């Protein structure tokens, strides 16, 4: 692998949602600050929407890691649950002595009593639901009813719904209008801008131990943006492949040609970026130094357009 070659301690563009690599982009920062502010003011529902690959799960992890001792958090990465499974999960997370087969009314009462106990201890309970667009309608309704548990002064349970744009479509259903009305804050997680892309790449590299001059050339950065559209997941995939290509060439810096190989080897790349990468290869005399293109990229070209 290229770690030693580039002076890295770990992979800088891993797809694992590691909070060490959380980039303080304007959009992500604004969304994160809204989350923290809303939770501290004990509001009910908070909704965060973002396209695929924009860093929603990483934002979840960052939020959970940032909550202080005054919070009890429960994280649901897979929300495809029945209402009973949702209540059972919440019960376990807040410390209820939950047993399978417990009558629904008894389980709900124990959850309520436990939430009251936590409130007396100055603890706020937060339920974070990732990929919320996949939660069944009946379970969403059960979640709404759980947020009815409150005192005269405060909500006993706060809910953060994080999902793809389909979540907005789901909440637009007439039979879910009561839940939609409970949403106090709603934010949209956006892609990395062209202006911020160099900072994003350099931040990931520095977080992985790199301490040298900018590792990606200006041409590589420009192609990286056009091919990724600023989507963090796609940026990471392309940057990782470009580092591999540069390492294979024995190069100490990622040039545009290395990024072009990564683009042509990645079917998810944006069409504009793929065309620019392809055009660049045709401009190189006799396709010099592009064996990887013929071995890997060419079989994929026919399916690009």
Cβ neighbours for 189, distance < 8 A, ≥ 6 positions apart: 27, 28, 31, 48, 49, 50, 51, 54, 55, 56, 59
pLDDT of residue 302: 35
- Residue limits of CATH 3.40.50.300 in the chain: 26-189
Q: Which fold has domain 26-189?
A: Rossmann fold (3.40.50)
pLDDT of residue 192: 94
We find that the CATH architecture of domain 193-298 is Orthogonal Bundle (1.10)
Q: At what angle do helices 137-146 and 83-94 cross, to 10 degrees?
A: 40
pLDDT of residue 280: 60
- Residue limits of CATH 1.10.8 in the chain: 193-298
Q: Which of 31-45, 194-208, 271-285 has the lowest mean pLDDT?
A: 271-285
Question: Does 293 have pLDDT greater than 70?
Answer: no
pLDDT of residue 297: 45
Q: How do 157-163 and 45-50 pair as beta strands? A: parallel
Tokens linked to 25: 């982009």
Task: Report the share of the chain in percent with pLDDT over 70.
Answer: 90
Task: Report the share of the chain in percent with pLDDT over 90.
Answer: 56
Residues 70/120, Cβ–Cβ less than 8 Å: no
Q: Which of 30-34, 172-176, 187-191, 282-286 has the lowest mean pLDDT?
A: 282-286
Q: For residue 73, which of 62, 82, 83 has the smallest C-alpha distance?
A: 62
Q: What is the pLDDT of the chain when averaged over all its residues?
A: 86
Binned at pLDDT 50, 70 and 90, residue 271 comes out as confident
User: Residues of 286-295 as b/e, b for ≥16 C-beta within 10 angstroms?
Assistant: eeeebebbee
Question: Does 301 have pLDDT greater than 50?
Answer: no
pLDDT of residue 281: 57
More confident residue, 198 or 147: 198
CA distance 94 to 151: 17
Each residue's pLDDT tens digit, 197-256: 999 999 999 999 999 899 999 999 999 999 999 999 999 999 999 999 999 999 999 999
pLDDT of residue 284: 47
Residues 163/107, Cβ–Cβ less than 8 Å: no
pLDDT of residue 43: 67
Question: Does 3 have pLDDT greater than 80?
Answer: yes
More confident residue, 257 or 97: 257
Tokens linked to 33: 């600050």
DSSP structure class, residue 295: I
């Amino acid at each position: 692998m290229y770690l030693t070659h580039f002076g890295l301690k770990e992979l800088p563009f891993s797809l694992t949602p590691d909070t060490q690599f959380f980039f303080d982009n304007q959009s992500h920062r604004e969304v994160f600050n809204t989350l923290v502010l809303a939770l501290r003011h004990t509001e009910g529902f908070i909704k965060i929407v973002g396209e695929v690959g924009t860093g929603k799960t990483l934002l979840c992890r960052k939020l959970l890691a940032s909550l202080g001792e005054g919070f009890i958090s429960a994280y649901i990465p897979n929300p495809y649950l029945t209402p009973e499974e949702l209540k059972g999960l919440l019960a376990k997370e807040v410390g209820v002595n939950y047993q399978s087969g417990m009558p629904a009314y008894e389980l709900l009462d124990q959850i309520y009593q436990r939430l009251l106990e936590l409130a007396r201890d100055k603890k706020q309970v937060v339920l974070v639901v990732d990929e919320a667009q996949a939660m069944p309608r009946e379970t969403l309704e059960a979640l709404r009813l759980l947020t009815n548990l409150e005192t005269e002064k405060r909500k006993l349970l706060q809910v953060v719904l994080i999902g793809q744009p389909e979540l907005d479509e789901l909440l637009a259903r007439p039979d879910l209008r009561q839940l939609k009305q409970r949403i106090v804050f709603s934010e949209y997680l956006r892609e990395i801008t062209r202006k911020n892309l160099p900072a994003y790449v350099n931040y990931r590299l520095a977080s992985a131990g790199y301490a040298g001059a900018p590792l990606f050339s200006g041409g590589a950065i420009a192609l990286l943006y056009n091919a990724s559209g600023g989507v963090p997941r796609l940026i990471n995939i392309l940057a990782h492949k470009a580092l591999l290509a540069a390492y294979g060439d024995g190069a100490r810096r990622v040039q545009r040609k290395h990024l072009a190989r990564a683009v042509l080897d990645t079917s998810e790349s944006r069409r504009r970026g793929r065309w620019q990468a392809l055009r660049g290869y045709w401009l190189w005399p006799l396709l010099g130094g592009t064996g990887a293109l013929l071995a890997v990229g060419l079989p994929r070209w026919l399916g690009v357009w």
